[in-house]
Amino acid sequence: MYTQSMDTDPETRNPVAKVSAVGRPEEQRFQATVDAEGKIEPRDWMPEAYRKTLLRQISQHAHSEIIGMFPEGNWISRAPSLKRKAILIAKVQDEAGHGLYLYSAAETLGQSRDEMMAALHSGRAKYSSIFNYPTLTWADVGMIGWLVDGAAIMNQIPLCRCSYGPYARAMIRVCKEESFHQRQGFDIMLSLSKGTADQKAMAQESLDRWWWPVLAMFGPPDADSVHSGQSAQWKIKRVSNDELRQKFIDATVPQAELLGLRIPDEKLKWNTQTGHYDFGPIDWDDFWRVVNGEGPCNKERLAARVKAYEEGQWVRDAAMAYAVKRKARQHKEAA
Amino acid sequence: MSEDEKQGGTGGRRPLVQEWPLWEVFIRSKQGLDHKHCGSLHATDAKQAIQMARDVYTRRNEGVSIWVVPSNAITASDPGEREAFVDPMADKIFRHPTFYELPDEVKHM
């Protein structure tokens, strides 16, 4: 997982003003490289706004991977079988790995890991709002894999061709692993849908809660999406929020039918003319409420993250002190 | 516990002592291939960096051998002088085998 296509930084919310006049020679060379599908590497010249946009997007993405471990991690000790438990541990470990790939990519843009951590822990940095919803049942773990990771894949595949080399390479690695995540989620849903009446009801109840927040993950409609223009010019964002959302719905509806689950949208209907599903309006007020900190679990997630970090501080300090001491001893012996 | 912590103050929380050093990670995906750069990570020393690189970058048989190098030990060429420094040598076409015309009688060379 899991970027969320939105721009919450007021500084760059005015894309028209930010679209550069492309005047200076280095700027022209930069844009020519991007236009020709070339890659920008860390020490190449890049516009300051490009660097800032990427830094914000990649670090938000990394934070989302890290916070994303919490809703699933809660279920490791409650997984219904040893097999499911082993799978879930591997999945959560992958999410940690994805966070690390992405922090590593973000650091190439000149911000330290500590600064990024501080931004997350103070609440200044955002992460995907989907993790501010609770995982109340085991079906929710399936739902995160099937729908949340499924939505993430839609979003992340075009990012593999992003103009910034380290981000594109990290995304290739992430996408390879993400497919396992979605399938294990679907597998959980499949088991529940073939199960008892209670298990089926649990699956349906879970879908009823997750469907709309997952659609919102793709970000505001294109008409209101403020930074898409510039990001498209820079080839950071290559497919629009609405296109990705439509693609996700078209792919997911038949899967829900196969599971025998009803998608909670009265207006959902196949449109023979467009060749896509029509769907009902998304509650953007709810989305922004959650983004701005009023979701069901915002405080809990951040508090859990800060607690884990603070409680691990002595371990990090001790490991560093040990390494310094050993190095000093080696120097002494060598002398 | 420090006096400050006992009093429940947060002022005593030290600023981070020291960020763990940054290491660049190189992986050989299979015997016979070169090690290839795949990313970076933070670790206290080389031994820990190798262990972490295994956990972060090789969870699915991606590698049979790992190198870690302190990031600050790498000296790189200047991308700003790429064109002058990494000259494509376009004027020295005789460096390429296609420069030479062979008689038809020579089938393979």
Q: Could you tell me the residue ranges of all domains in chain B?
A: 17-95
Contact A112 B76 (CB under 8 A): no
Nearest CB among B17, B19, B39 relative to A112 is that of B19
Q: Rounded distance, CA A225 to CA B16, Å?
A: 37
pLDDT at A191: 97
Q: Rounded distance, CA A254 to CA A260, Å?
A: 10
Is B96 an interface residue toward A (CB < 8 Å)?
no
Question: What are the pLDDT tens digits along chain A (335 aa)?
Answer: 555 555 544 444 444 444 455 578 889 999 999 999 999 999 999 999 999 999 999 999 999 999 999 999 999 999 999 999 999 999 999 999 999 999 999 999 999 999 999 999 999 999 999 999 999 999 999 999 999 999 999 999 999 999 999 999 999 999 999 989 999 999 999 999 999 999 999 999 999 999 999 999 999 998 887 667 888 999 998 999 999 999 999 999 999 999 999 999 999 999 999 999 999 999 999 999 999 999 999 999 999 999 999 999 999 999 999 999 999 999 888 87
What is the reported pTM? 0.88
**Chain B residue closest to A105 (CA)?**
B39
Is B17 an interface residue toward A (CB < 8 Å)?
yes
Q: Which residues of chain B are within 8 Å of residue A40 when distances are taken between CB atoms?
A: none
CB A123, CB A298: distance < 8 Å = no
Is A158 an interface residue toward B (CB < 8 Å)?
no
Q: Is the pLDDT higher at B92 or at A253?
A: A253
> Is residue A268 left, alpha or beta, with left meaning phi > 0 and alpha meaning psi from -120 to 50?
beta
Is B37 an interface residue toward A (CB < 8 Å)?
no
When pLDDT is averaged across residues B4-33 and rounded to a whole number, the result is 69
Q: Which residues of chain A are within 8 Å of residue B22 when distances are taken between CB atoms?
A: 107
CB A260, CB A193: distance < 8 Å = yes
3-class state of residue A225 by DSSP: coil
Nearest CB among B20, B40, B76 relative to A320 is that of B20
Nearest CB among B16, B40, B59 relative to A107 is that of B40
Assess: ipTM above 0.95. no
pLDDT at A333: 87
Residue A98 CA: distances (Å) to CA of A249, B56, B58, B81: 25, 8, 12, 34
pLDDT at B14 > cutoff 80? no
* Three state DSSP letters for A1-46: CCCCCCCCCHHHCCHHHHCCCCCCHHHHHHHHHHHCCCCECCCCCC
Question: What fold does the segment set B17-95 form as a domain?
Answer: Ubiquitin-like (UB roll) (3.10.20)
CB B69, CB B24: distance < 8 Å = yes
pLDDT at B55: 94
Q: Residue B64 phi/psi, 5° resolution?
A: -115, -10
